[in-house]
A and B are shown apart, each in its own frame.
Chain A
């Protein structure tokens, strides 16, 4: 489980980093989305990887049989904020496309 999770985070981060270094805005935004998924999974990971356990603390129940609720709360906030900023970035990308006529991050379309 841990191995699968860490490989997934690693692959997504690598793809994300490669994509945000690309010259097209579409690639950049896909890269940013992938990075945000990787970061969200990472936040989940720091709480300890447990499956099918409740995050609610009860009297008389061993805390080892519970998941940590804080990373879940953090990840929820991070998802919401990441979603909003990605939407905003899309709008700016469209504005840039409209103003410059191409989707290069520097607004120019030089042949290589």
Chain B
């Protein structure tokens, strides 16, 4: 990584931050300009994420430590890019671009400051993926949450306000847990820098260790609320199904942020030493309960939105259980599953709105919000000019079938590959001939059952929507609404075709993650930039 690309590390935070500030100068009526700024910012973000991803995919990765303000590591704030962060950045940028393009058709116009909040959400997400400091993680978490409160309420209406109120209350309490956990860890370990913390944890004396572990547990609750572990998940399906379609699409990655932080912290802090394997039982049994709860929810939900909401829980539950079984050292298949399920659920949330537009429920909500916002007239005239999608029902049906295949984990799409890789890695843990543990068997059975449940539920809804709707009209769907959905589904197909390179990348990422010393040394030995001296400094050889 040379000097130029090194500064790219902070760009995923700066670009959307500047864009969101710039957007505030434009009046709400200048929709085209706002949309353009937002779109350009997201495309730049995608390019940056792709460059970082390529660098991390290269042979000499892990020199991506960025010292903010040129302060040495434990004192200043650091940003760290490794394989996992780069992957999550790319995932955010891809999903963000799809959700943004989708919203340009109509959703961005049903409320104020949509684009600013969307960009701030990206700031928070990217910052949380990049930061190497626990308190900075809190700040970026709050930035992301504040933006997500606004986005969830986007479009207004009683349903969203009610769901939004519950969402905000739950997340405010989660923020208190976060603060309590962070301060307990600071009080016992004396540092908030993740790498420094990982190096210090083995040296904490036993009577303080209990306090530190309590702090880590309280901190974990905050992330588990975000990831939606049972019994901390009851807000999730309601909130996600009440959100506007593109917002729900981007929200698919918020629960993955919780998983990411848990993965990062367990692999870094509790990989070995006296606290090794801390909290893995909670993750195992919590994940199991989440998976069962999500599966029952998928089977029981009548509305498509709730079905997608419960699918988020199924995916979270699977990841948590895998984390719990392997004491944090997850397989590359599980990482592939995380990527694949994020794309799937994002596409599904956006597709649902298009499908339901032909029926009464979805269209009704939109009409009401349009009226409430008082610009139904001008918007209608504008919409007539958009390019209609030909053969709408056929394409919608195909996309829906693809989502069903992905959710249930059938071949040929990436849902199958990722689940197969994940489960085969689980089965191959012991030596040949040794029986598998009951936890692994439970996981395998539950994952397969959840796939079957998803298949049943999706088939039932699909038949009702596409085959037996006599009075249903063909929804008016614009090209720019269907393209993002097809784009996300195409990405899962690329993931299938390029499964070899993808798995190699995941393998390399997991190898780096499973050696915490690599991360610790990289952050601790990060060199400060020389050549910046204060004017009055009695410099050493300053010209």
Question: Chain A residues in contact with chain B, CB under 8 A?
Answer: 20, 25, 28, 32, 35-36, 39, 42-43, 46-47, 70-71, 74, 77-78, 81-82, 84-86, 88-89, 92-93, 95-96, 99-100, 105-107
Q: Are B158 and A42 in contact (CB under 8 A)?
A: no
**Knowing A36-B176, A77-B135, A85-B146 touch, does A92 contact B153 (C-beta < 8 A)?**
yes
- Pair A77/B162 contact, Cβ less than 8 Å: no
Pair B146/A88 contact, Cβ less than 8 Å = yes
Q: Is the interface of A mostly helix, strand, loop or mixed?
A: helix
Q: Which of A28, A47, A95 has the most CB of B within 10 A?
A: A95
Query: Any chain A CB within 8 A of the CB of B182?
Result: yes
Q: In the assembled complex, how far is the CB of residue B375 from the closest CB belonging to chain A, in whole angstroms? A: 19
Given contact pairs A39-B176, A100-B158, a sample of 5 additional A-B residue pairs in the complex whose CB atoms are under 8 Å apart: A35-B173, A71-B183, A74-B135, A77-B139, A107-B161
Which B residues between 140 and 171 are near A, CB-CB below 8 angstroms? 142, 145-146, 149-150, 153, 156-158, 161-162, 164-166, 168-169
B180 CB-CB contact with A under 8 Å: yes
> Are B182 and A99 within 8 A (Cβ)?
no
CA distance A32 to B146 in the complex (A): 16
A20 CB, min distance to chain B CBs, angstroms: 7
The residue from B139, B157, B168, B183 contacting A85, defined by CB atoms under 8 A apart: B168
Least distance between A81 CB and chain B CB atoms (Å): 5
Residues in B with CB closer than 8 Å to A47 are: 187
The reply to whether B172 and A78 contact each other, CB–CB distance below 8 Å, is no
Is the beta-carbon distance between A95 and B183 smaller than 8 angstroms?
no
Minimum CB distance partner of A78 in chain B: B179
Answer whether A81 and B139 are a contact pair too, CB < 8 Å, given A92-B149, A95-B161.
Answer: yes
Contact A89 B158 (CB under 8 A): no
Smallest beta-carbon distance B234→chain A, Å? 13
Known: A32-B172, A99-B158, A106-B162. A70 touches B186 (CB 8 A): yes
Shortest CB-to-CB span from A15 to chain B, Å, is: 14
CA of A85 to CA of B148, assembled, Å: 12
CB distance from B94 to the nearest CB of A (A): 29
A81-B172 in contact given A39-B180, A42-B183, A106-B162 (Cβ < 8 Å): no
Tell me the complex Cα distance, A39–B169, Å.
16
Write 16 A-B pairs (CB below 8 A) sorted by A numbering. Answer: A35-B176, A36-B176, A42-B179, A42-B180, A74-B179, A74-B182, A74-B183, A84-B146, A85-B142, A85-B175, A88-B149, A93-B165, A99-B158, A99-B161, A100-B158, A105-B169
- Given the complex, which residues of B lie within 8 Å of A78, measured CB to CB? 179
Report the Cα distance A25→B175, complex, angstroms: 19
B183 and A46: CB pair below 8 A?
yes
Bound CA span A19–B186, Å: 29
**B169 and A89 contact, CB distance less than 8 A:** yes
CB distance from B403 to the nearest CB of A (A): 31
Report yes or no: B169 in contact with A32, Cβ–Cβ below 8 A. yes
A88 touches B168 (CB 8 A): yes
Interface residues, chain B, with chain A CB atoms under 8 Å away:
135, 138-139, 142, 145-146, 149-150, 153, 156-158, 161-162, 164-166, 168-169, 172-173, 175-176, 179-180, 182-184, 186-187, 192
How many residue pairs at the A-B interface have CB separations less than 8 Å? Answer: 83
Establish whether residues A107 and B158, one from each chain, have CB atoms under 8 Å apart when the complex forms: yes
Taking the closest CB of chain B, its distance from the CB of A79, in whole angstroms, is 11
Q: Are A43 and B179 in contact (CB under 8 A)?
A: yes
For A81, list chain B residues within 8 Å (CB).
Answer: 139, 142, 175
Of all A-B residue pairs in the complex, the 3 with the closest CB atoms, nearest first, are A46-B187, A43-B183, A99-B158
Name which residue of chain A comes closest to B168, CB basis. Answer: A89
Q: Tell me the bound Cα distance from A49 to B79 in angstroms.
A: 32
B152: nearest chain-A partner, CB-CB: A92
B56 to chain A, nearest CB (A): 30
Q: Which residues of B contact A89 (CB under 8 A)?
A: 165, 168-169, 172
Q: Are A39 and B179 in contact (CB under 8 A)?
A: yes
| Shortest Cβ distance from residue B154 to the other chain A in the assembled complex, whole angstroms | 12
The CA-CA distance from A85 to B135 in the complex, in Å, is 17
Establish whether residues A85 and B186, one from each chain, have CB atoms under 8 Å apart when the complex forms.
no
Contacts of A95 in B (CB 8 A): 153, 156, 161
| Complex: A81 Cα to B138 Cα, angstroms | 10
Shortest beta-carbon distance from A64 to chain B in Å: 14
Distance A98 CA – B156 CA, assembled complex (angstroms): 12
Which residues of chain B are near A74, meaning CB under 8 Å?
Answer: 135, 179, 182-183, 186
Q: Which residue of A lies closest to B170 (CB)?
A: A20
| Contact status of A105 and B165, CB under 8 A, knowing A85-B146, A85-B175 | yes
The answer to whether A92 and B180 touch (CB under 8 A), given A74-B135, A81-B142, A107-B162, is no
Residues of B within 8 A of A88 (CB): 146, 149-150, 168
CB distance from B68 to the nearest CB of A (A): 15
Give Cα distance in the complex from A71 to B150, angstroms. 30
Q: How far is the CB of A12 from chain B (nearest CB, A)?
A: 12
Query: How distant is A96 from chain B, measured CB to nearest CB, in Å?
Result: 5
In the complex, A81→B157 CA distance in Å? 27
* A35: chain B residues within 8 A (beta carbon): 173, 176
- Distance between B74 CB and nearest chain A CB, rounded to angstroms: 11
Docked CA distance A106–B139 (Å): 30
A78 to chain B, nearest CB (A): 6
In the complex, what residues of A have CB within 8 A of residue B149's CB?
A: 85, 88, 92
A46 and B139 within 8 A (CB): no
Q: Is the CB of A20 within 8 A of B169?
A: yes
**What's the nearest-Cβ distance from chain B to residue A67, in Å?**
13
A20 touches B180 (CB 8 A): no
A56 to B142, CA, bound (A): 29
Cα distance, A39 to B173, chains bound together (Å): 11
Q: How far is the CB of B262 from chain A (nearest CB, A)?
A: 22
Q: Find chain B residues with CB under 8 A from A42 CB.
A: 179-180, 183
Q: Are B172 and A71 in contact, with the CB atoms below 8 A?
A: no
Nearest-neighbour CB distance to chain A for B424, whole angstroms, equals 44
| Complex CA–CA separation, A47 to B192 (angstroms) | 13
A19 CB, min distance to chain B CBs, angstroms = 11
Contact check, A46 vs B146: say whether CB atoms are below 8 A apart. Answer: no
